[in-house]
Chain A
Amino acid sequence: MIAEIGLGLLWFAAALSVMQLGLGIMILRDRESASASAFAATLRPIAVIQGVMVALSFLCLIQIFWVTDLSVKLVATNSHSLKPWLYKLAGAWGNHEGSMLLWVTVMAVSGALVAMLERRISQAMMIATLAAQAFVSIGFYAFLLLSSNPFERLVPTPPEGAGLNPLLQDPGLAFHPPTLYFGYVGLSIAFSFAVGALVTREVGPTFARAMRPWVLGAWIFLTLGITAGSYWAYYELGWGGWWFWDPVENASLMPWLAATALLHSVTVLANRGALKAWTVMLAVVAFSMSMVGTFLVRSGVLTSVHAFAVDPERGSFILVLLAIYIGGALALFGLRASTVQEGAKFQFLSREAALVANNLLLMGILAIVLMGTLYPLVTEASGTKVSIGPPYFNPASAIFFIPMVLIMAVGPMLRWRKSDKAQLTAAAAAPLLAGAVALLLVVIFGSGAGILPTLGLALAATLAVASVMPLFRSKTNRASLPIWGMVVAHLGVAVTMAGMASESAFTKETLVASAPGESHQVADWTITLLAVEPVAGRNWTALEARLSAQRGEGEAIELAPQARMFSSPPTNTSEAALLTRWDGQLYAVLGERAPDGRWQLRLWWKPFVPLIWYGGIMIGFGGLLALIGRLFQLRRTRPIRKVEQASEPTGQTVPA
C-alpha cells in the first residue's frame, strides 16, 4: 500500500510541476492582464506543495526499504533482510531508481525553498525562475514515472533480496551520493535563476545575490562529496591511491570546477556589476556538467568500477533531457546574451581581471577533464579501445593548475577595478619568498621527488602564505566572515596540494609474500605478520591479518587489514588497515594467499597524505563560513540595500 501511495504522490507532484510551468508561461506572456496577477500569487504555493509531495513520496520509499518490503522490485533487487539498518536506508538511494527519486526530491524541495525564502528578485523573475525549475523537474518526473519507477511491484515476491553492492556498504558511501546530489541539484537552482534572469532580462547584481547562496551551498556539498569520495576510494578499494580520473570521479569533478568558477564570477557580479554574460553562461555550464556527469554514469556509455549498470534506453532518455534543457538554455543564452548590457569596466591589473583569468584557467581544466573523459568514446567509434589515465590528466591539468595557483595567490591582494604594480609587488613578495624557500628545501632534502611534486610543494607554500595575507591587509576594520571563508578555503587548497605532492613524492611501498612471524620494512616501520584468521560479521565473512607495526624503537601497534567476502551478491572487498600519525599514514592491505601458504601483503608509508582530505574539509568549511557570512550580511544590510544598489554601477537593464 505504501508503494502505491508513494507512486500517487509522485504523480501528483509531477502534475503540479506541469501546472507550475504552464501558469508561469501564461503569466509571463501577458503580464499586465488581471488574470496574470491573480495567478502570480498561486505560483509560490504550488512550488511549495510540489516540494512537500515529493518529499513524502521519498519518505514512502525509505519506509519500504526500512521494513524490507520484498514485494517491491527495487527492494528485492537492492536490499536484503539481513543488512544492517544503515545500509537498508542507504539502499533507498544506492541504486538508479532511488537516486533519481532523491534527485527529484532535492530539486523540488529546493524549488520550494526558493519560493518561500527569496524576496530580493522581482516578481517577474521569480515567476520565470519557478517556471524554469518546473520545466527541468518535469523531465526528471517523466524519466522516473515512465522508465524508472521505484515503486514497481514484483510478482511473485521473492523469499529474499539480492543485497546491496558490498562496495557501497560503508558509512562514508551511504552518505556520499546524497551529498553530491545536494550539490548537483543546488546547481539546478542556479540554472533556473540564470534562465529566469535571461527571460526577464534582469541579469544584474540582484540576480547574482539571489543566486549566490545556492551556488555556495551546492559548491560546499560538491567539495565535501568529492573529498569523502576520494577518501572512500582510498581506503575501500585497497589500491592505495586517492584519485584515479575514473569517469565517475570526473563526473563529480567537472561540475565542481564549473561551480568554482561560477562562485567567483557571481561574486564579481554581485559586488561590482561586471561579468554579466559570463556569469550566466557559467551557471548554465555548471548545471550542464551535473547532467553530463549523470548521463555518463547512468547511460552505460563509459565503463567504470562504480557506474550504475543501466541500459541504453535510460541513457537515451537522459540524453534527450540534456539536449532539451542545456541546448535550450544555451540557445536562450545566445539569443539574449547580446542584449545583456556590458557590465562595469575594469583594468588589466585588478581583482576582477585576476578572477577572470582564474575562471578561464578553471574552464581550461574542465575542458581537459571533459576531453579526457569523452576521448575513449570517440576512439571507440573508430574501433580502438583506449583508457586514459593519470599520464594524460596529471600533466595536462597541471598546465592550467600551476598558473591558476599563482594568480590565486596574488588575486585577493589586488584592488577592485584598478590596481598598480607596486601593489602587485607588495602582494607577491612574501608568498614568492616562501615558495622559493620550500623549493630549496625539497631540492636539498627531498631526494628523488619528481618535477611536478617538487613544484607542487613550492606552490603550496606560496599559496599558504598568500592565503592568509588578506587578514592582515586592512588593519582598520576586521576581516568579514566571507573574507575568512576565502582565507580558509584558499589555505585548504594549499593544504590539499601539499598532501598530494608529498604523497606522490615520498611514498614508500613494499609488496611481500609473508609467512606468519616474518617481519618487513617500509620506510622506518617494521611490520610483522602475526597471524591470519577468519572472522565473521553480520553479512560478511573475512580473513583478517593481525599485523604488528613498530616505528624505530617505539611501541608496537596492532593493525588488522581484512579481505572481506559478502554473500549476496558475492563480492570480495578489501578493508585496508590505516594507522594515522602526525606525519603520514601507514596503509596495509591483505592480499591473496600464495600456493606455498604465504600471504601477500601490500604496505605503504604515505607521508602527509591525510592533508589531502583535511584540505578538502577546509575548502568546504571556508565555503560554509562565506555562506553564513552572506546570509548574516543579508539580514544586517537589508534596510539599506536599496541605497547601496542605487549607488552601484549596475548597468542593469530595465525589465521589459
Chain B
Amino acid sequence: MSEAQTQEPAAKSRGWLIWLPLGLFVLLIVIAAFSLANPSDRVIPSKLVGQSLPEFDLPPAIEGSAGLKQADFADGKPKLLNVFASWCLPCIVEAPQLDQLAKSGVTIHGIAIRDRPDDVQAFLARNGNPYTRIGADDISAVQLSLGSSGVPETFVIDGEGKIVHQHIGEIRPEAVPLILEKLEEAGR
C-alpha cells in the first residue's frame, strides 16, 4: 500500500478536474445573479399584523393637542398610525406623502418617538402637520409593543383597531397607492 504514489489532488487527473472550480463558480454566480434579480422581502414584519393594537395611552406630544390611545382606533373607520420623530431624516422625506394622504381624507394618528414638544412643534411647522392626534412615546415602549423597530413606520388599522398592514421605512410616492388600497380593503 505504501508503494502507491499519491499525487497532489489537482494534478491527479489533469483534465476536466481543473475546470471544476470554474464550473462551480459559474453556478454560484448564476444563483447570486438570480437572487439579485429577484430580491427577497427583507423587512421584518411585525408579528402584530392581523392582530389588534396593544393597549396603550400616550400623553400629547405637543401642547394643546390630543394624546393618543388604543381606543381612538375603534370608531369603525380605518386609519393610519404613523411612527415618527423630529430627529428622523427619512420622516422629512415622507412628509409630503402624509400631507397628501391627509388632504385626501385619510385620518392619520402619529406617535412621536423619544422627542421633545418643542422639537415636534418645529418639525410640524416646517414639514406640515397631517396628524389628527399625536401621542408622545418617550421610551419607545408603545413602539416596541407594536413590533416596530425603527422610524418612520406606518400601520394601516381597520375600524376595529386591528393592524392590517405595516409599512417599514418612509412612504415614498410610489407606495401611496398600496397604502390607499390597504385602507380601502380595511374599510370593507
Contact = CB atoms under 8 A, between A and B. Distances in A.
Interface of A: 76-77, 158, 160, 162, 274-278, 281, 284-285, 288, 292, 295, 299-301, 303, 312, 315-316, 319, 322-323, 326-327, 330-331, 333-334, 337-338, 342-343, 345-350, 352-353, 356, 359-360, 374, 377-378, 380-381, 385, 418, 420, 541, 565, 567-572
A275 B9 CA distance: 8
Nearest to A274: B8
- Listed from nearest, the 3 A-B pairs whose CB atoms lie closest are A277-B10, A330-B22, A301-B35
Contact of B8 (A160, A276, A380, A570): A276
A338 B34 CA distance: 33
Nearest to B19: A334
B31 interface: yes
Contacts of A420: 2
Contact of A277 (B11, B26, B31): B11
A300 B9 CA distance: 36
For A312, A327, A347, A570, the residue with the greatest tally of chain B CB atoms inside 10 Å of its CB is A570
16 contacts: A76-B89, A162-B87, A278-B8, A295-B32, A303-B42, A327-B22, A337-B18, A343-B8, A345-B5, A347-B3, A359-B9, A377-B35, A381-B34, A381-B35, A565-B140, A568-B114
Contacts of B42: 300, 303
A278 B17 CA distance: 11
B4 A347 contact: yes
B36 A301 contact: yes
Interface string B74-97: 000000000001011100000000
Contact of B6 (A312, A327, A353): A353
A334 B5 contact: no
A185 to B, nearest CB: 20
B125 interface: no
Given A303-B40, A374-B31, A569-B150, 14 more contacts: A77-B89, A277-B10, A277-B11, A301-B40, A303-B42, A334-B21, A342-B7, A347-B3, A347-B5, A374-B28, A567-B87, A567-B114, A569-B88, A570-B85
**Interface residue tally of chain B, by bracket?**
35 or more
Given A330-B25, A337-B18, A277 B8 contact: yes
A337 B6 contact: no
B14 interface: yes
Contacts of A285: 21
Interface string B118-140: 00000000000000000000011
Given A360-B9, A380-B40, A347 B2 contact: yes
A295 to B, nearest CB: 7
A327 B26 contact: yes
B138 to A, nearest CB: 10
B106 interface: no
B144 interface: yes
A356 B42 CA distance: 41
B25 A356 contact: no
Contacts of B34: 377, 381
A300 B85 CA distance: 27
Given A285-B21, A299-B32, A334-B18, A568 B87 contact: yes
B38 A381 contact: yes
Contacts, number: 133
A413 B22 CA distance: 36
Nearest to B37: A312
Contacts of A349: 2
A338 B18 contact: yes
Contact of B36 (A274, A312, A347): A312
B32 A301 contact: yes
Nearest to A335: B18
A300 B39 contact: yes
A337 B14 contact: yes
Contact of A342 (B8, B40, B88, B149): B8
Contact of B21 (A330, A348, A350): A330
A570 B114 contact: yes
Highest count of chain B CB atoms <10 Å: which of A276, A284, A285, A381 = A381
Given A381-B34, A570-B114, A331 B10 contact: no
A330 to B, nearest CB: 4
Contact of A288 (B25, B35, B140, B144): B25
Nearest to B42: A303
A569 B151 contact: yes
Nearest to A285: B21
B6 A347 contact: yes
Contacts of B18: 277, 333-334, 337-338
A611 to B, nearest CB: 34
Nearest to A295: B32
Contacts of A277: 8, 10-11, 18
A347 B4 CA distance: 7
Given A162-B89, A338-B18, A348 B26 contact: no
A565 B114 CA distance: 10
B168 to A, nearest CB: 11
A76 B92 CA distance: 14
B62 interface: no
A627 B29 CA distance: 35
Contact of B139 (A312, A347, A350, A565): A565
Nearest to A305: B44
Nearest to B5: A345
B143 interface: yes
Contacts of A312: 36, 39
A327 B114 CA distance: 50
Given A299-B36, A301-B39, A331-B22, A160 B87 contact: yes
B10 A281 contact: yes
Contacts of A571: 149
Contacts of B36: 299, 301, 312, 315-316, 319
A158 B11 contact: no
A285 B28 CA distance: 13
Nearest to A595: B55
B8 A322 contact: no
A211 B41 CA distance: 42
A162 B139 CA distance: 18
B104 to A, nearest CB: 29
A70 B113 CA distance: 23
Contacts of B31: 374, 377-378, 381
A348 B32 contact: no
Contacts of A570: 85, 113-114, 140, 143, 150-151
B21 A275 contact: no
Contacts of A334: 18-19, 21-22
